[in-house]
Amino acid sequence: MIRRREFITLLGGAALMLPLAAWGQQPGKLPTIGFLGGTTPAAQLQWTAAFVQRLRELGWVEGRNVAIEYRWAEGRSERYTEIAAEFVRLKVDVIFTHGTPATILVKQTTSLIPIVFTVVGDPVGTGIVATLARPSGNVTGQSSLTPDLAAKRLELFRDVVPRLRRLGIFGNIDNSTVVLEIAELQAAVRTLGLEAATFGIRRAEDIVPAFETLKSRTDALYVAGDPIVLTNGVRINILAVGARLPTIYGGREYVTTGGLMSYGPNYPDLYKRAADYVDKILRGAKPGDIPVAQPTKFDLIINLTTAKALGLDLPPSLLARADEVIE
């Protein structure tokens, strides 16, 4: 009689063997996607699920007629080049990337393997593609319009913090999209007659020292999104609430970990649309011939629990406009 633990072990082994058996039925190697996650599996769970589900809808079933090699940088930019080199050794058929730094470093690693990017703020301005209409080379994907939305976020932020005079800007200054976003934001700040100070980080170890510097010098904090920021989102939001600083971000995932609010593209939707690009390339399309897309769905997310912790009374009109209110 098989004991319970032995049964679970056998069941797990059988589950692992299923994809391998399916591959064995295919003539030759399965088409393979190299999936480069900028953060962790948990942080990107919803986005990854949207990507895989869309691939299924398009006829690509993982383990049956396509393989996906997942690698996670865990918010450490030095991992991007290592992972890209590994994908080249594995001879994957297409590499999927998230964010500007990862895409730039993967592009520098290979000029032959097609690359599909998503959540790249300004792919032309950062030199990733020649033009949106004709990317050229081996790269295409989706812009997230991150720098272009900076002024809109500031406008929304002023509705929440009407006495805002000194804005703190926090982000990874090694990320070229973040640098562009900060420049756009500083221009908007000057137009509104506000003061602004930038507190840059380059790695997770810089977060706490940056907060020690900024907490007495700002009324609110604009946080530029980035894999380092997302990976350390809980820590950043605890520090911000502790310093009594309202925060605004570019995506929902930062608000679910305690940020006050966000406005930006719907990331699961971007990942779904990225799967369409991967599908086209696996069916023979050249990435340089596929125009770069821009987001069509934008979300305003508010964390009411964080607002209460900060003692903020949010305008009913703003709450009515929100796509989601987290309580």
Q: Annotate 120-169 with three-state secondary structure.
A: ECCCCCCCCCCCCCCCCCCEEEEECCCHHHHHHHHHHHHHHCCCCCEEEE
Per the prediction, the chain carries an average pLDDT of 90
pLDDT digits (tens, 9 = 90+) for 244-255: 999 999 999 999
The span from the CA of 162 to the CA of 324, in Å, is: 22
Read off the pLDDT band of 20 (50, 70, 90).
very low
pLDDT digits (tens, 9 = 90+) for 213-237: 998 899 999 999 999 999 999 999 9
Four-CA torsion 255, 324, 248, 191, nearest 10 degrees = 170
Q: Are 275 and 159 found together in one domain?
A: no
Query: Based on the structure, what is the number of domains in the chain?
Result: 2
Read off the pLDDT band of 263 (50, 70, 90).
very high
- Residue 277: the pLDDT is 98
303 burial class (0-12, 13-18, 19+ CB within 10 angstroms)? Answer: buried
- Residue 4: the pLDDT is 37
Q: Are 120 and 192 found together in one domain?
A: no
> Per the structure block, which two tokens stand in for 200?
């840059």
State mean pLDDT over 4-30: 42
Contact in structure between 226 and 175 (CB atoms under 8 Å): yes
State mean pLDDT over 254-277: 96
Chain length of the chain? 327
Q: Which has the higher per-residue pLDDT, 46 or 28?
A: 46
**Structural domain span for residue 168:** 147-265+299-326
For the cut 90, the answer to whether the pLDDT of residue 239 exceeds it is yes
Q: Are 273 and 133 found together in one domain?
A: yes
Calculate what percentage of the chain has a pLDDT beyond 70. 91
> Per the structure block, which two tokens stand in for 228?
């380092």
- Residue 3: the pLDDT is 42
Read off the pLDDT band of 240 (50, 70, 90).
very high
- Residue 28: the pLDDT is 66
Q: Are 138 and 39 found together in one domain?
A: yes
Residue 220: CATH number of its domain: 3.40.50.2300
Q: Are 177 and 230 found together in one domain?
A: yes
pLDDT digits (tens, 9 = 90+) for 66-99: 999 999 999 898 999 999 999 999 999 999 999 9
Contacts of 302 (CB under 8 A, 6+ apart): 255, 260, 261, 314, 318, 319, 322, 324, 325, 326
pLDDT digits (tens, 9 = 90+) for 93-136: 999 999 999 999 999 999 999 999 999 988 998 999 999 999 98
Calculate what percentage of the chain has a pLDDT beyond 90. 85
For the cut 60, the answer to whether the pLDDT of residue 26 exceeds it is no
Q: Are 18 and 90 found together in one domain?
A: yes
Read off the pLDDT band of 19 (50, 70, 90).
very low
- DSSP state letter for 286: -
Q: Are 211 and 309 found together in one domain?
A: yes
Q: Are 129 and 105 found together in one domain?
A: yes
Contacts of 288 (CB under 8 A, 6+ apart): 134, 135, 136, 137, 138, 139, 140
Q: Are 71 and 206 found together in one domain?
A: no
First to last CA, the chain: 50
For the cut 50, the answer to whether the pLDDT of residue 24 exceeds it is no
For the cut 80, the answer to whether the pLDDT of residue 41 exceeds it is yes
pLDDT digits (tens, 9 = 90+) for 276-322: 999 999 999 999 999 999 999 999 999 999 999 999 999 999 999 99
